A and B are shown apart, each in its own frame.
Chain A
Amino acid sequence: MNITINGKPHEFAEGATLADALEQFGAPDRGVAVAVDGTVVSRGSWRATPLESGSVIEVLTAVQGG
């Protein structure tokens, strides 16, 4: 299934969870937060969050700015 992470398309096996996708994407272990289709999913729920084809994931972290 096709999932968009930070604006780029990624292909994942059917049944992949949010945790699987983030691991494959290479998201850092700390200091990041994740939203799926505009809703924040806390770290503790990543393993229990199934993905659907077409889901849009944003992975944000703190950077210099503002």
Chain B
Amino acid sequence: MDDPLVIAGREFGSRVIMGTGGAANLSALERALLASGTELTTVAMRRADLGGGSGVLELLNRIGIEVLPNTAGCRTAAEAVLTAQLAREALGTHWVKLEVVADEDTLLPDPVELLDAAEQLVDQGFVVLAYTNDDPVLALRLEETGCAAVMPLGSPIGTGLGIRNPHNIEMIVSRASVPVVLDAGIGTASDAALAMELGCDAVLLATAVTRAQDPARMAAAMRAACEGGRLASQAGRIPRRFWAQASSPGRPMEQ
């Protein structure tokens, strides 16, 4: 595999991790997932009601995409830990996207509950991918607890406001020794490209694709943007200059 994404020793050929929320229906989701090239996709856990599941698991199994359960909707460490344990039992994976949010308006991670949940889950043998604020201090603390990846937000979930603090993302990347996944806030392809240019190892997105007018086309755009941004990051961009610098020497005529 050329330039794989490696999380907890596991290789992935795609640097796009997809969410499944917001899709109009399962066939639209399937087209978008296939167009994105993703190999790892997250699902939420909810109460099972009469009539069985939503069919999303069957879809992911059928098209060969690895399932990453998440703890979306959890507000406390206790709730997130129990949800992760139930996901492990239901889905047979000890990987979890840990999400502990503070309130409905911001959906921002609650740092105190998040760190507590991360510690408990790592102790219990989970591979924890932690959704976190764009806080370089908290990101490092999560890594020190044993998280397999840190996933800072670009902006609040579902806003499509892009990366509001690129410098913080660069600081997180520069000190991390686990993969950094830009999670939340991506609105369009240039946001995904920027995340990769800033040095992120992958992006996680859902709404930007599932609620786009043409989800499959936007998924293809995200895939291309990630690949472009990754190449640019590896290529090393030119330094920014204040004044112009001619690319050809002198002038055509001697003065």
Contact = CB atoms under 8 A, between A and B. Distances in A.
| Genuine A/B complex | yes
A32 B72 contact: no
Interface of A: 6-7, 25-28, 31-35, 38, 40, 42-43, 58-66
Interface residues of B, number: 38
Contacts of B54: 61-64
Interface stretch (B15-23, B163-171, B188-196): B15-23
A27 B72 contact: no
B72 A66 contact: yes
B132 interface: no
Given A6-B49, A28-B52, A64 B43 contact: yes
Interface of B: 19-23, 29, 42-50, 52-54, 56-57, 67, 69-70, 72-73, 78, 82-83, 85-91, 97, 99, 206
B21 A59 contact: no
A61 B45 contact: yes
Nearest to B19: A66
A45 B138 CA distance: 39
Contact of B43 (A28, A40, A62): A62
Contacts of A60: 45-48, 83, 86-87, 90
Given A60-B47, A63-B43, A66-B19, A31 B86 contact: no
A62 B206 CA distance: 16
Contacts of B56: 62-64
Contacts of B45: 60-63
